[in-house]
Amino acid sequence: MALDKEDFYNLQNPLFVSIEDHDSGGKIFTLRKRNSERSNSYTKLTDVFTKMPYGLIHKEETGIGATTLELKAKRNSIIVEPIKVTASTKAYKEKGAFYVGS
């Protein structure tokens, strides 16, 4: 059984994202910054994905739920955060997360 695009990329609302092919063979996901379903708010990653797509994620905005979405995913992940207090706080709140830091 073939997966359709929404299943493959874990999309729950494809209206807020465009998907393009990259020269490397990967994909580029571009979120619409403003979500018309949220009053005066940025599109959150949970508005679009059920879990993060595999690979590197480049995002222009902070606070749109990337770390939270990946912490809740039922898979092993490595999440790199630039600020120690942010990483440790989020990891300790999530059951099953393992924090490694200096």
Residue 101 lies in a domain: no
Residue 19 lies in a domain: yes
Position 14 scores a pLDDT of 64
Residue 100 lies in a domain: no
pLDDT digits (tens, 9 = 90+) for 7-41: 456 666 666 777 778 888 777 777 777 666 666 67
pLDDT digits (tens, 9 = 90+) for 47-68: 888 888 766 666 777 888 888 8
Residue 102 lies in a domain: no
Distance, CA of 55 to CA of 44 (rounded, Å): 19
Residue 99 lies in a domain: no
Residue 65 lies in a domain: yes
Among candidates 74, 26, 29, 67, which has minimal Cα distance to 46? 67
Q: Which residue has the higher pLDDT, 93 or 30?
A: 93
* Domain count for the chain: 1
- Domain of residue 40, residue span: 5-93
Position 3 scores a pLDDT of 39
Position 18 scores a pLDDT of 76
Residue 22 lies in a domain: yes
* Single pTM value for the model: 0.65
